[in-house]
Structure 1
Amino acid sequence: MKANVKKIAEKTYQLSTDYKSDMKVPGNIYLDDILFKNLEEDVFEQIANVACLPGIQKYSLAMPDCHYGYGFCIGGVAAFDEKTGVISPGGVGFDINCGVRLLKTNLTKKDVDSNLKGLLQEIFKNVPSGLGSKGKIKITKNEIDNVLEEGVDWASSEGYAWKNDYRHIEEHGKMKNADASLVSDNAKKRGLPQLGSLGSGNHFLEVQYVDEIFDENAAKAYGVEKDQVVLMIHTGSRGLGHQICADYLRYMESASKKYNIKLPDRQLACAPISSEEGMRYFNAMSAGANYAWVNRQLVTNWIRESFEQVFKMSAEDLEMDIIYDVAHNIAKKEQHIIDGKMKNVIVHRKGATRAFGPGHDEIPSEYVKIGQPVIIPGDMGTASYLMHGTEKAMNETFGSTAHGAGRALSRVQALKLYKGNEVQEKLQKKGILVLADSKGVIAEECPEAYKDIETVANVCNDSGISLKVAKMRPMGVVKG
C-alpha cells in the first residue's frame, strides 16, 4: 500500500488513484515522516475506500491524528456533491457530535493551585460521569423532542445557558433541519436519563492553564493569556447518538442496494444525499448533534456552579465565557470552491475539526479577522492546543484539521500494558490530579495510549491547515 503513496509536500502524502481502479480522487494525508512510518496499512485502505464513493470531491482526506475506524478512518474528511454525492453514517461515527468546548476564567494558575483538589472533587460530584452515567435533570419524552430540535435554544429557555453562549458554538448550537420524529424511540429512551453527563472512555473535563502563547494577536482576540486557567469539556451525544448511528446503518445498507451503489466496504453503507433515505439520516443525525450541544451546555452549567461553590464568586464575575465549541463527528452542508466554482457539498468530518479561515461569515464577529478557533485536546498527561483556521485549510481540506492526539494503542492493549493506580500516581508526581469513575478508564486513557500531541499540532501548523495560538497544560482531570 505505501508503495502507492508519495510525498507531495513537506507534511503531506498522497495515495494515488492507481491503488484501486474505482478510486475517483486521490487520498491526501497530513503526516510527518514518523507518523507516516507508523501509520497502520488499514488506514490507507480506508482512505482509498472513501475515494471510491459517488460524488466525492477533490480528495479523500486524513488528518495527522488519523487511525483505523469504522468505515472512514478516525481523522477522515470527505466532501460530496449535493446532487451526485452520498451521505454515510460511517463518515460521521457512532458518537454523533462528539466535540470539545473551551471555557475561560479570569483566574490564574496560582489562584487555583491551592483549591485544585477541592475544585476537582466538586466538579466530579456535580458532573455525572462513567459508563451508563445519568444526568442530574429529568426530562420527559415530550421534552426530549424539544432538545433534539431546538438544541442550545432549549437549554437557554430552561436557564442553563447565558445570553450569548450560543454565539461561540458551532452552528450556534442548533442544526436547523433536525427532526425528532426520525429518531427512534429506543434512541430517545437511551438519551432521556443521560442528558447532562460526561460519559466514559476518552471523554473528560480538564482544568488547564495557558502555558505558552504563539500568536499574541489571536490570543487577545480569543481572550486568553499566559497562566490563565481554562476549562476543556470533551463529550458528545452519549447513547442516543450511538443508537441513531446503529439504526441508520441498517437502513443505509438497504438504501445502498436500492440505488445500486457499489460499496468497497459495507461499513460505508450510504445513500444519495438528495434521496429520501439520505435526508432522513441527515435530519436524524442533526437531532443527535443538537442533543450533544445541549449535553455540553448542561455540563458547562454544572462546572460554572462548581467554580462558584469553591471560589465564592459568581461565574459571571469569574468571566467563565465560552471561547468556542467545535464538533468533530458530524456531516455538514457547506459551500466550498472546487475547480474555481462555488459548490454545495456535504462535508463529513469523522474525528476531524472544522477550521474555517478568516472572513468566513459563520465565525463570530470578534474572531472573523483571525479565523475560527480550533480546539485540539491532547491526553490527560500532556498539552492541548488552541489554534485557528486558515485560508489554506479552506483550499485544501474543506476547512478541516485534526481533532486530538489520536489513539496509538487500543483500549485492550492499554489495559494489558498499564495499571490505573500506577498511571494516576505518575501523573500526580507531575502535578496533575486525576479523578475517574474507575481505575480501568485511567489505564485505557493513559498518555502512552495516544500519539504525541506535539507532533500532531506541529504537522497541522507546519502544513498550514490550522495555526497555533496557545498551548494549555492540565492541572486536574475528571475522566468518565
Structure 2
Amino acid sequence: MDTNRLIRKGPWEWHIAPEGGMYVPGVLYADAALVGGMDDKVFEQVTNVARLPGIVKASYAMPDAHWGYGFPIGGVAAFDPELGGVVSAGGVGFDISCGVRTLLTGVDSEQVEAHKAELADALFAAIPAGLGSRGEIRLDENAMDAMLSGGADWAVRCGWGEERDLERIEERGMMAGAVPALISAEARKRQRAEMGTLGSGNHYLEVQRVAEILDEPTAAAFGLVRDEVVISIHCGSRGLGHQVGGEFLKRMALAAHEYGISLPERELACAPINSDLGREYLGAMRAAINCALANRQIITHLTREVCAGVLPAARLTLLYDVSHNTCKEEVHEIDGQRRRLFVHRKGATRAFGPGHPELPGAYSGTGQPVLIGGSMGTASYVLAGMSTSESLAFSSACHGAGRAMSRRQATRHWQGRQLIDDLAARGIVIRSPSPRGVAEEAPGAYKDVSAVVDAAEGAGLARKVARLVPMVCIKG
C-alpha cells in the first residue's frame, strides 16, 4: 500500500481522510512495514466500509489486515441502528464464528516429546480434517434445532464436555437470539455430518509448547507455564455457516435498492439492522455462531479422549474460546454517551479490557484472553485485552498473522510433501489429508506474526502474554 495516501498519526496509527461519500475516516493500526506490505485492495475496502449507512467513529483495519470479501480480513466496523445502521453478511464472512480455543494440559513438553508421533496419529484418526470432512455424529432435525439454539451449552448437556468449560467461552457458549427456523434445508444438510470436524483451509488443531512468558502475572492468571503444553483448536461453523453467508449475501444484494442503499461494491451487501431482512440475518447468523461453538466443544471432547489414552497425565482445562468472524450487539461509548451498536469483526478478535462485566471472574483483573494463531511452522500468541482498546477499535484486536500471498501463489512456491518433511526436520509433526492444502498454508505465505502482535501491543489494542510454538499440527 502506498503510505503517501495515508495520514500518519503515530508509530502504529494511520488515517484515511473521509472523501467520496465516506461517513467516517479509515484507521489502520500497524507499523510502516506492515502497512507498506498491505495490498492496495485493503485501502479500497476500508474506504468502502466507511461508506455504509450508520457507521460510527471509523472503519478500522487491524495489523494483520489483508484483502477479503467485502470487508478486509482484519476489518472492524460498528453501526448504530438508530442512525439507519446496517448489518452486512460480507462484514461477517462465510466462516461465521470461526475462532480459536486453547486448552491447558499441565504437562511438560518433554513428556509430550516422546509421544509426538503417536499423539499426532491418534488426533488425526479421531478428528476428521480436510475439505468435506465428515464425522460420526449425525443430527436429526430436533437435535439440529437444539444445537443451533444451544451451542456449546447443548454439546455439554449431550456429554461432550464439562460444565466448567462454559464460563470460559464467549457468550458462555450460547449465543442468545438465534433463530434455528431461519437456517435453510440446504445449510442443515451440509452440517448434518460435519459436527466435530475441522474442515479445510487455515483450520487446524495444534499441540504447542509455551516457549516464552511475556507477562508473568497475567500468564499465571491464565494458567500458562513456560515449557508446558497447550492445545489450540481453530475452526468455525463449517458448511452451515458458509451456506448462511451465501444465501443472505444474495438476498441483501437484491434488496439493497428497496432500502435506498447504494452499495460501494456488491460484496458489501447489507440490510438495515431494524429491517425484516436485517433481523432475519442476525437470527440465522447467531444460530451459525452456536454451530461453531458446539463444533469446537465436540472437538475438545474428542481431544480429551485422545489425550486420556496417549497422555494420561494431561488435564485439559479450557483457557478461553473466542471467535473472530461475528457481528455482536454491544454497548460502547461514542462522544461521551453509551450507545447500543452492532460491531462487525471480520478476521478480528474481541478484546475486552480489565473489569469488563462480560469477562469470567478469573480474568476480570487481567482482561480477556486474545488468542492469535500463527502458521504451522511459526509462533502463535496469547494476548490480553487492554482498556485502551475500547476507544481505539471497539475493544478489538488482530486475529492471526494474516496472509501475505494467496493460496494459489503459495502452491507455486511450495510443495506440500516437501514442507511436511522440512517441518519434521525442525521437530514439528504435520498430519493432513491434503499435501496441496499444506502448501496453501505454508508458513512463508503469511506475514510475520511477531510483527503483527508487536503492532497490536504498540497500538494499545492488546498486550502480549505468552508465545507458543508448534509441536504437532493437524491440518485441514
Q: 1:412 aligns with which of 408, 411, 422?
A: 408
Equivalent position of 1:236 in the other structure = 236
Amino acid of the structure 2 residue aligned with 1:13: W
Question: What are the superposed Cα offsets for residues 318-376 of structure 1, whole Å, 9 maximum, x if unpaired?
Answer: 32111000100000000000111100000000000000000001110010011000000
Equivalent position of 2:390 in the other structure = 394
Helix, strand or coil: the match of 1:360?
A: coil
Equivalent position of 1:8 in the other structure = 9
Structure 1 residue 2, shift from structure 2 partner: 4.3
Q: After superposing the two structures, state which structure 1 stretch, 422-431 or 202-211, moved more.
A: 422-431
**Identical-pair percentage:** 46
Q: 1:341 aligns with which of 327, 337, 344?
A: 337
Q: Are 1:83 and 1:273, in contact at CA under 8 Å, matched by a contact in 2?
A: no
Q: Where do 1:62-141 residues align within 5 Å?
A: 62-84=61-83, 85-141=85-141
**Residue 32, structure 1, aligned to residue 31, structure 2:** yes
Amino acid of the structure 1 residue aligned with 2:137: I
Equivalent position of 1:142 in the other structure = 142
Structure 1 residue 463, shift from structure 2 partner: 1.1
Equivalent position of 2:47 in the other structure = 48
Equivalent position of 2:426 in the other structure = 430
Structure-2 separation of matches of 1:9 and 1:459: 12
Structure 1 residue 31, shift from structure 2 partner: 1.2
Q: Are 1:149 and 1:290, in contact at CA under 8 Å, matched by a contact in 2?
A: yes
Structure-1 separation of matches of 2:332 and 2:98: 24
Structure-2 separation of matches of 1:9 and 1:286: 37
Q: Are 1:2 and 1:41, in contact at CA under 8 Å, matched by a contact in 2?
A: no
Question: What are the superposed Cα offsets for residues 149-206 of structure 1, whole Å, 9 maximum, x if unpaired?
Answer: 1111210111001011110000111111000001111001101111110101110010
Amino acid of the structure 1 residue aligned with 2:472: G
Structure-2 separation of matches of 1:312 and 1:376: 28
Equivalent position of 1:370 in the other structure = 366
Structure-2 separation of matches of 1:87 and 1:255: 13
TM-score with structure 1 setting the length:
0.98
Structure-2 separation of matches of 1:9 and 1:344: 30
Helix, strand or coil: the match of 2:133?
A: coil
Amino acid of the structure 1 residue aligned with 2:252: M
Structure-1 separation of matches of 2:135 and 2:295: 9
**Residue 264, structure 1, aligned to residue 260, structure 2:** no
Helix, strand or coil: the match of 2:55?
A: coil
Q: Are 2:11 and 2:32, in contact at CA under 8 Å, matched by a contact in 1?
A: no
Structure 1 residue 312, shift from structure 2 partner: 3.6
Structure-1 separation of matches of 2:422 and 2:311: 28
Structure 1 residue 253, shift from structure 2 partner: 1.4
Structure 1 residue 56, shift from structure 2 partner: 0.4
Amino acid of the structure 1 residue aligned with 2:464: K
Structure 1 residue 8, shift from structure 2 partner: 0.5
Structure-2 separation of matches of 1:99 and 1:124: 20
Helix, strand or coil: the match of 1:134?
A: coil
Structure 1 residue 141, shift from structure 2 partner: 2.1
Q: Are 1:128 and 1:136, in contact at CA under 8 Å, matched by a contact in 2?
A: no
Question: What are the superposed Cα offsets for residues 103-153 of structure 1, whole Å, 9 maximum, x if unpaired?
Answer: 001101011000111011000000011110002212112211110011112
Question: What are the superposed Cα offsets for residues 70-108 of structure 1, whole Å, 9 maximum, x if unpaired?
Answer: 100000000000222000000000000000000001101
Equivalent position of 1:163 in the other structure = 163
Amino acid of the structure 2 residue aligned with 1:369: G
Q: Are 1:253 and 1:270, in contact at CA under 8 Å, matched by a contact in 2?
A: yes
Helix, strand or coil: the match of 2:69?
A: coil
Q: After superposing the two structures, state which structure 1 stretch, 136-145 or 282-291, moved more.
A: 136-145
CA RMSD of the aligned region, Å? 0.9
Structure-1 separation of matches of 2:32 and 2:340: 35
Q: Are 1:332 and 1:347, in contact at CA under 8 Å, matched by a contact in 2?
A: yes
Structure 1 residue 462, shift from structure 2 partner: 1.1
Q: Are 1:394 and 1:400, in contact at CA under 8 Å, matched by a contact in 2?
A: yes
Q: 1:356 aligns with which of 352, 355, 361?
A: 352
Q: Which runs of 5+ in 1 are unaligned?
A: none
Q: Are 1:4 and 1:16, in contact at CA under 8 Å, matched by a contact in 2?
A: no
Question: What are the superposed Cα offsets for residues 394-418 of structure 1, whole Å, 9 maximum, x if unpaired?
Answer: 1110000000001111111111111
Question: What are the superposed Cα offsets for residues 252-277 of structure 1, whole Å, 9 maximum, x if unpaired?
Answer: 11331111111111111111101111
Structure 1 residue 250, shift from structure 2 partner: 1.1
Equivalent position of 1:206 in the other structure = 206
TM-score with structure 2 setting the length:
0.98
Amino acid of the structure 1 residue aligned with 2:61: A
Amino acid of the structure 2 residue aligned with 1:76: G
Helix, strand or coil: the match of 2:219?
A: helix
Equivalent position of 1:299 in the other structure = 299
Q: Which runs of 5+ in 2 are unaligned?
A: none
Q: Are 1:141 and 1:192, in contact at CA under 8 Å, matched by a contact in 2?
A: no
Structure-1 separation of matches of 2:332 and 2:136: 41
Q: Are 2:368 and 2:385, in contact at CA under 8 Å, matched by a contact in 1?
A: yes
Structure-2 separation of matches of 1:15 and 1:173: 37
Structure-1 separation of matches of 2:388 and 2:256: 34
Structure-2 separation of matches of 1:269 and 1:3: 30
Structure 1 residue 6, shift from structure 2 partner: 1.3
Structure-1 separation of matches of 2:13 and 2:436: 36
**Residue 477, structure 1, aligned to residue 473, structure 2:** yes
Equivalent position of 1:446 in the other structure = 442
Amino acid of the structure 2 residue aligned with 1:199: G
Q: Are 1:174 and 1:290, in contact at CA under 8 Å, matched by a contact in 2?
A: yes
Structure-1 separation of matches of 2:196 and 2:417: 28
